[in-house]
A and B are shown apart, each in its own frame.
Chain A
């Protein structure tokens, strides 16, 4: 541990703990949460680590309290995070909608679990994007290893700060509760992005005027700039605007909120591809399913099935360019998911009929075995 309480080097670490260390490395100094299995170890470790790095930890009365506390901390200038699991994520939707509308950088870790129990699931993959009312965009990254739990938490904060937007990090229950190898680089080798601060005379500052890349410069409470925050539609000054009186202003506001993300989709897209060059069949996966998918593709190759592997790390916004390219290249795409078949419809939408998109659903709290994916590949490549 260095003087500022940060750690580096090689560790054998729990996924949930790797998330905490990633947050600290990214500069997170405020955590508010309400413990829930399988996210509790994040809350527990944060309660110890935040004071060690000069940050603040607070256990809130519930999940709504947690998300609003995080929003408040971020508006006051802190990099802030909360963590929860499926049912708790439901309660946070109002806060996430607010954070997106008033453009608050923050990170929400969701550790999706099956209803009642703590098995992994991908049933909430659409909720992450569509959970709150109104027009907004979410950036969502999914970790599929212990190293990614760390790396993507850093990335989540960087995206949050760059785009002034809430970012959701998904760590499925089996990653959160798994221990594995983690390399934490020295602090000066980790890329950290900070929000663009307000500059210039206070009387000229407009807290919601789109700046570079459509993202407004941000002033923290108490810095001398006038800031007004409301969940209602608002103008560049922050004053409530009425859609009937100012339909253009209303449209412009949501164009700005959504456009800063959608325009940068390629920039935000993180993914990994293997064996695609000569593939005529691809497996598109995200999260822990990608560990089975890769193993299945490797086994398929040894059976001379021309299979390719695509792992989506960014699931929202949908990496459309990548998926379109894959669809043009292969004849069939198999999408294994731990749910009733959800994200597969996004793959279908983007493929525009260029490839036959086949859902492979499993909804019993277990990830697909490589053999189950391979069996489907054999069937489709015959």
Chain B
């Protein structure tokens, strides 16, 4: 994989508590930092409910040291609930990429100045027998689109963090990558400033 050395990517995940929104960002951070030696910072916010409340996780991944931790605008948003779509839409930069779980978010985003990719992650995860891995489907789609970490790094991160259920999560990420490939018809090098 060719790495542009000044590359810095801001990714925001949004959805409901219980979907593994924060988990997805932790896996991504582990892949970037531990497996690839990059710098990353991740922050989160969530309601008091364990499940069902609004949940957001933001991660900045950079090839160089990150000084400023707060995300101003996201380059990519991974959205798994309708409230999250509406709440964070303005936080996506011009020309940024919005990846939505089209099984959950049926309404169309109002902005025209962004790229939108629909991934039926929850139904894919259900077909695999575990709806819980929908977050990994989305994560697989994300890395296919952005190349923010390599596929092998993502797999290693999943093995490091969830050794007992690694296989189904790796499979889910792989399915996500395939879904993205079908939809976007290739990678998008312009995603990074």
A: residues with CB less than 8 A from B are 10-12, 146, 174, 177-181, 288, 291-292, 294-295, 298, 367, 369-370
- B34–A292 contact, CB under 8 A? no
B69 close to A174 (CB less than 8 A): yes
* CB contact under 8 A between A12 and B70, given known A179-B29, A181-B33: no
Residue pairs across A and B with Cβ atoms less than 8 A apart, 18 shown, are A10-B37, A11-B33, A12-B29, A12-B30, A12-B33, A12-B40, A174-B43, A178-B43, A179-B26, A179-B29, A179-B42, A180-B42, A180-B69, A181-B41, A288-B69, A291-B68, A294-B67, A369-B72
Residues in A whose Cβ lies below 8 Å from that of B68: 291-292, 294-295, 370
User: Binary interface profile of B, 124-148, with partner A (CB < 8 Å = 1, else 0)?
Assistant: 0000000000000000000000000
Give the contacts of B29-67 with A (CB-CB under 8 A): 29-30, 32-34, 37, 39-44, 66-67
Residues of chain B at the chain A interface (Cβ within 8 Å): 26, 29-30, 32-34, 37, 39-44, 66-70, 72
Instruction: Tell me which of B34, B43, B44, B69 contacts A10 (CB under 8 A).
Output: B34
Top 9 nearest A-B pairs by Cβ distance? A295-B68, A12-B33, A179-B42, A12-B29, A180-B41, A12-B30, A181-B33, A294-B67, A291-B68
* A178 pairs with B29, CB closer than 8 A: no
Q: Which one of A177, A181, A295 lies within 8 Å of B44 (CB-CB)?
A: A177
| Cα–Cα, bound, A146→B43 (Å) | 12
Which A residues are in CB contact (< 8 Å) with B33? 10-12, 180-181
Q: How far apart are the CA atoms of A292 and B71 in the complex, in Å? A: 11
Residue of A nearest to B65 (CB): A181
Give complex CA distance A178, B40 in Å.
10
Q: For chains A and B in complex, what number of residue pairs have CB atoms within 8 angstroms?
A: 56
Query: What CA separation (Å) do A164 and B72 show in the bound complex?
Result: 44
Q: Which residues of A contact B26 (CB under 8 A)?
A: 12, 179
- Among A12, A146, A292, max chain B CB count under 10 A is at A12
- Kindly list 12 other residue pairs between chains A and B, CB separation below 8 angstroms, not including A12-B29, A177-B43, A179-B42: A10-B37, A12-B26, A12-B32, A146-B41, A177-B44, A179-B40, A179-B43, A180-B40, A180-B42, A291-B68, A292-B68, A369-B72
Instruction: Please give the distance in Å from A293's CB to the nearest CB on chain B.
Output: 9
Instruction: Known A291-B68, A367-B70, A370-B68; judge A11-B34 contact (CB<8 A).
Output: yes
Give A174 to B72 CA distance when docked, in angstroms.
16
Residues of B within 8 A of A370 (CB): 68
Interchain CB contact under 8 A, B67 and A291: yes
Contacts of A146 in B (CB 8 A): 41
Q: In the complex, what residues of A have CB within 8 A of residue B29's CB?
A: 12, 179-180
Chain B residues, Cβ within 8 Å of A181: 33, 39-41
* Across-interface contacts of A292 in B (CB, < 8 A): 68, 70
Find chain A residues with CB under 8 A from B66 CB.
Answer: 180
The residue on B at minimum CB distance from A178 is B43
User: Which residues of chain A are near B42, meaning CB under 8 Å?
Assistant: 12, 178-180
**Best-buried of B30, B33, B68 by chain A (most CB within 10 Å):** B68
CB distance from A36 to the nearest CB of B (A): 15
Residue of A nearest to B25 (CB): A179
Determine the distance from Cα of A179 to Cα of B42 in the docked complex, in whole angstroms: 5
Most buried by B among A10, A178, A180, A292: A180
Q: What is the CA–CA distance of A342 and B102 in the complex, to the nearest angstrom? A: 50
CA distance A294 to B68 in the complex (A): 8
Residues of A within 8 A of B43 (CB): 174, 177-179
Which single residue of chain A is at the shortest CB-CB distance from B44? A177
Q: How far, in angstroms, from A367 to B40 measured CA to CA in the complex?
A: 19
The CA of A274 and the CA of B44, in the complex, are separated in Å by: 30
Across the interface, which residues of A come within 8 angstroms of B72, CB to CB? 369
